[in-house]
Amino acid sequence: MSQQTARRGGAAWALVITSVAGFMAALDNLVVTTALPSIREDLGGGLHDLEWTVSAYTLTFAVLLMFGAALGDRFGRRRLFIAGLTVFTGASAAAAMAPGIDSLIAARAVQGAGAAVMMPLTLTLLTAAVPVAKRGMAYGIWGAVNGLAVASGPLVGGTLTEHISWQWIFWLNVPLGLALLPLARLRLAESHGTGAPLDVPGTLLASGGLFGIVYGLVRGPADGWTSALVLTGLFAGGALLVGFILYSTRAKNPMLPMRLFRSRAFSGINAASLLMFLGMFGSIFLLSQYMQGVLGYSPTEAGLRMLPWTGMPMLVAPIAGILADRIGGRPVVAAGLFLQALGLGYMAVVATADASYVSQLPALIVSGVGMALFFAPASHLVMSSVRPSEQGIASGANNALREVGGALGIAVMGSIFAAQGGYETGRTFVDGMRPALVTGSAVVAVAGIAALLIPTRRSTERQAQPDEPAPVLEKAAH
């Protein structure tokens, strides 16, 4: 069981520090999307280079998240949180100064590695600092701030790109990081996990497998799906992931214990998270370019016009939290996912090369409400689906699967776009975007079905073993 070894600051400081750090990491997932046309004009590169500008971050973030959580559990969560924040801040400066597209992609990969260490520890540090009775509220605020980062990413990226330069989407992290470092050192209490040895073989298998699959999906449209490198990446990546699953079922101290997935609650919310981010990230990646390259909006105008979707969590997340407290997290999350799927499907229907903003607005609003209903209770469902001693692993696993979903979404939907359309004209862009959005809608609808698999608290208590207390899944005590 994790123990707090020092009490340097209260729950309020922990909430502020971890929320701002989570905001920075989440913001950099999507802040670059509205800057992609400007980056392409300034640094060059094709579709696959733009995909890697986003995916290099999400991929390293995804594959190292669980390892980052394990490092924190073993060597000290505050210590590793500070180390990850330092790497993230330095890599942000390197990305801002990148002289070419390849160096930008490399800096983004290092950024993702720093975020992978920092991000899962925000939730475990917060859990250690906040009394049990107030954790529901703290998770809600933490989740709302992360939702705000997703919401403001396209707008922040567009505004900075248009009025200053795209480099400032990365410079923005530097003062925030420098301000957080001393606060984390002085105000966060150190805590540790079980002290289990690091799972290096598991990390290598998972990292190699995910990299191979995403590499194959990103390079497939450019190199051809039958090229040696693409086929090697897909088949080798798949084999390594199968090896990771088999290894984790037998290892003494695996990075991700497969037994956790025997819980319908843990499996359901993680499957829903992966599929939600797959559909959402791939859609935002294409829609931000559609609004600029096809409809002719400036980066700021594109970001503002996406606010009914991406900004809705700021308005709806508090209501979603209240609903989750009253009726449970499962119906709120599931309803949010089905609304997100409906919005993406509607956008695919109304999108044309000269579509008016009014015609798109209902789709953006419905998608935004759906995203807000998902974000608020999802983190609480994850943390309440496992024992307290396993919350670090659970946080790392859920964040990892979200980022894997984001990376796969950009790769899969980018591949569909490239196969059906292209950048030649507005018509060809729409021809590629429509089937990609339909795919995203279908994937998010499947996520809604996965959310319905999450059991209610009452059914979980009936199924619990006599010697094992039933986890509080939905209406957790606040």
In sequence order, the β-bridge partners of residue 192 are 3
SS3 at position 10: coil
Alpha helices by DSSP H, listed for 164-312, are 168-171, 173-187, 200-223, 228-250, 264-289, 299-305, 307-310
Its sign, for the CA torsion 427, 431, 437, 438, is positive
- 284 contacts 276 by C-beta, under 8 angstroms: no
- Residue 456 region, left (φ>0) first, then alpha (ψ -120 to 50), else beta? beta
Q: The tokens of 142 are what?
A: 């933490």
- 156 contacts 31 by C-beta, under 8 angstroms: yes
Task: Provide the 10 A C-beta neighbour count for residue 99.
Answer: 8
- 407 contacts 277 by C-beta, under 8 angstroms: no
Burial class (CB in 10 A: 0-12, 13-18, 19+), 106: middle
Residue 145: per-residue pLDDT: 76
Residue 3: per-residue pLDDT: 41
Write phi, then psi, for 81 (nearest 5 degrees): -60, -45
SS3 content of the chain, % helix, strand, coil (to 5): 80, 0, 20
Q: The tokens of 452 are what?
A: 């319905």
Task: Provide the 10 A C-beta neighbour count for residue 109.
Answer: 18
Helix axes 77-96, 47-75, angle to 10 degrees: 160
Report the distance separating Cα 334 and Cα 341, nearest Å.
Answer: 11
Calculate the dihedral angle through the C-alpha atoms of 43, 48, 51, 53, rounding to the nearest 10 degrees: -40
SS3 at position 408: helix
Report the distance separating Cα 405 and Cα 59, nearest Å.
Answer: 9
Q: Which of 389, 275, 269, 286 is nearest to 330 (CA)?
A: 269
Report the distance separating Cα 33 and Cα 338, nearest Å.
Answer: 24
Report the distance separating Cα 226 and Cα 195, nearest Å.
Answer: 45
Q: The tokens of 333 are what?
A: 């999350």
From first to last of the 478 residues of the chain, give the pLDDT tens digit.
Answer: 444 444 455 778 888 888 888 888 877 776 777 777 788 777 766 666 777 787 788 778 777 777 787 788 778 888 899 999 999 999 999 998 888 888 888 999 999 899 888 887 887 788 777 776 666 667 667 766 776 676 667 677 777 887 888 888 889 889 989 999 998 888 887 776 666 677 788 888 887 887 788 778 767 766 777 888 889 988 998 999 999 999 988 888 787 788 888 888 888 888 998 999 888 878 887 887 788 778 888 777 877 787 787 777 667 767 776 777 777 778 888 899 999 999 999 999 998 888 888 998 999 899 888 888 887 677 778 777 777 667 667 776 777 777 778 777 877 888 888 888 877 888 889 888 999 999 999 999 999 998 888 887 544 434 333 334 434 334 333 3
Q: The tokens of 383 are what?
A: 């943390």
β-strands 191-192, 3-4: how paired?
Answer: antiparallel
pTM above the 0.95 mark? no
Report the distance separating Cα 445 and Cα 28, nearest Å.
Answer: 26
Report the distance separating Cα 336 and Cα 416, nearest Å.
Answer: 25
Residue identified by tokens 């594959």 is: 63
SS3 at position 189: coil
Report the distance separating Cα 83 and Cα 75, nearest Å.
Answer: 11
Report the distance separating Cα 169 and Cα 19, nearest Å.
Answer: 19
Q: The tokens of 305 are what?
A: 């016009």
Q: Which of 206, 183, 2 is nearest to 116 (CA)?
A: 206
Residue identified by tokens 């990446």 is: 233
Please name the residues in contact with 281: beta carbons below 8 A apart, sequence gap of 6 or more: 29, 30, 54, 58, 405, 406, 407, 409, 410
Rounded to a whole number of angstroms, the distance between the first and last alpha carbons of the chain is 21
Report the distance separating Cα 334 and Cα 244, nearest Å.
Answer: 30
Report the distance separating Cα 171 and Cα 188, nearest Å.
Answer: 25
